Structure 1
Amino acid sequence: MKSFKKILSLSLIILNIFISVPFALTNDNLELNWYFVKREQGKTPEAPKESISFLKDCDGFYVGDTNSKVVYLTFDQGYENGNTNIILDTLKEEDIKAAFFVVKPYIKQEGEIVKRMVDEGHLVCNHSSHHPSMASIRDKDKFKLEFTEVEEEFKNLTGKDMPKYFRPPMGKYSKFSLNETKNLGYKTIFWSFAYKDWLRDDQPSESYATEKILNGVHPGAIILLHSVSSTNTKILKNIIKELKNQGYEFKTLDELPTA
């Protein structure tokens, strides 16, 4: 009986090793979805509990300087809906510099708009070549290609190197993907405010969107808007003016805190 118990105990130990080792090897590859936990108005939202422990080490940002009334305005450019030049007009009139995250097809199809962004001092940043979940790509060469194809297209168009900021498509990521992004020299830019603005045929009202955005702003906010939104385009100037009236300053991703 004692011999049987020893064998059983040893078997359980071996089984635990085989169960835990694969988990340890694959846990960093677990696909996560970015979200933020909103607190009371004007307070910094909380980051996801799943990734807060490693976000900073992976050069991941969802807020900037939370000790000052500053905001960072960013747009995701999946495709063109006729709004971006109007948005750029507004930003120029208000002397605001923003970051535009673009995919490779956008650069190819909307070269004049991209060149205008650059010429007017905005950051044109990487949003991947094919808009996949980066957490789903385990092959390092394929992972890198999602970055380099966009970089090459951008440089061919503008003659400039692309700024090293990356927004994961759909907000999907893993610890592995964040580390690989960092290894490619990029900072990962999430957000501390976003709302449902990307459905072209189901746009929120201007009053709803204005209230939603203004209530979601806080010191150090990285604001994500989608340029396909006709509502965003219409209310952008008023949003900017109101935030300025509240004492907010607009900064660029180049001015994110380094410590």
Structure 2
Amino acid sequence: MQKDHFFTRRRMLLAGAAALGAAGTAGGVLAGRSQETTGTAAPAPVPGPQARQALKGSTFRLQPLTGDGPPRAAPRKLKVRREPILRISGRGRQMMLTFDDGPNPDYTPHILDTLAKYDVRAMFFVCGECVADYKELVARMADEGHVVGNHTWTHPLLTTLHRKEIRSEMERTSDIIEDACGERPQWFRAPYGAWNRAAFQLGAKMGMEPMAWTLDTTDWMEPGADTIIDRVESGAAPGVVVLSHDAGGDRSETVHAIREWLPYLLDSGYHLTVPRRRV
């Protein structure tokens, strides 16, 4: 019941964030980044009255994990950006697929199965509290060549948090991702597309580039699989970054829809890419 309550509150906040998306950040380009073959402007909402009534974290928040493992390698520090990366660059019909809020044992394995069937790689922006329960799914993502990104621990609206709280959300998630798959994430996505200066600064300090999206499938609204399929197929274009979700609510429509729109993109000549790992 607590998780259902959390998902309901999240959907309410997502609706508010989507309404604010029109006031979002201008586009950016993923330049100078080589990619592996296997997705134009993401909302970066300016908080309004609805957004200020944000979640303070999930109702089933987990305690920090501790251990006596080897010391973690210092992250490579990056230039601090002023806006997230919104599209991918490169020649030809390239797109990128991204999935947020997971992992979830009811939906993530089916999405991974579909991606494997077509030999496609994607990005998964995971929440630390979900990773804590399903580390094996994050390990599978990495093993199958997908890129695992940081989506905070409890999926809060960062613009309502103090800098110390934002740092905790990000650091704990990077730590548990490393525990699950052996590498710290090199990409970060702000929940609800709500970015602020602290998120950019802290992400760069932790060695993570900020990634947004171009095309929102609106699967978080559960509009029906046909609507999701139509949005992806009609919105497909070179450079597009597709946003879907593998957790955070009932994602059965997403599972069904990807089985239809993924082969359509491939048959249409699109190459689906992920960022190459930095060394």
TM-score, with normalisation over the residues of structure 2? 0.67
Q: Distance in 1 between matches of 2:45 and 2:105?
A: 35
| Matching residue of 1:172 | 194
Q: State which structure, 1 or 2, has the greater radius of gyration over its C-alpha atoms.
A: 1
Q: Distance in 2 between matches of 1:206 and 1:136?
A: 33
Q: Confirm or deny: 8 A CA contact 2:42 2:212 kept in the other structure.
A: no
- Bigger mean CA offset, 84-93 vs 247-256: 247-256
Q: Secondary structure at the match of 1:60?
A: coil
Q: Distance in 2 between matches of 1:50 and 1:119?
A: 34
Q: Distance in 2 between matches of 1:134 and 1:93?
A: 36
Query: Structure 1's 47 and 206: CA in aligned 2 closer, same or farther, altered over 3 A?
Result: closer
Quote how far apart the aligned CAs of 1:185 are. 2.0
Identity %: 24
Q: Confirm or deny: 8 A CA contact 1:193 1:221 kept in the other structure.
A: yes
| Matching residue of 1:156 | 179
Show the 5 A alignment for 1:1-259.
34=21, 45-46=40-41, 57-58=81-82, 60-65=84-89, 67-78=91-102, 80=104, 82-139=106-163, 141-158=164-181, 160-199=182-221, 203-228=222-247, 229-254=251-276
> Structure 2, unaligned stretches of length 5 or more?
1-16, 26-38, 47-79
Deviations 1:106-130 (A, max 9, x none): 1111122111111111111100112
CA RMSD, Structure 1 to Structure 2 (Å): 3.1
Q: Secondary structure at the match of 1:190?
A: coil
Query: Structure 1's 45 and 118: CA in aligned 2 closer, same or farther, altered over 3 A?
Result: closer
Q: Distance in 2 between matches of 1:48 and 1:108?
A: 29
TM-score, with normalisation over the residues of structure 1? 0.71
| Matching residue of 2:35 | none
Count of residue correspondences: 212
Q: Confirm or deny: 8 A CA contact 2:44 2:193 kept in the other structure.
A: no
Q: Confirm or deny: 8 A CA contact 2:100 2:243 kept in the other structure.
A: yes
Q: Confirm or deny: 8 A CA contact 1:73 1:250 kept in the other structure.
A: yes
Quote how far apart the aligned CAs of 1:50 are. 8.5
Q: Confirm or deny: 8 A CA contact 2:178 2:184 kept in the other structure.
A: yes
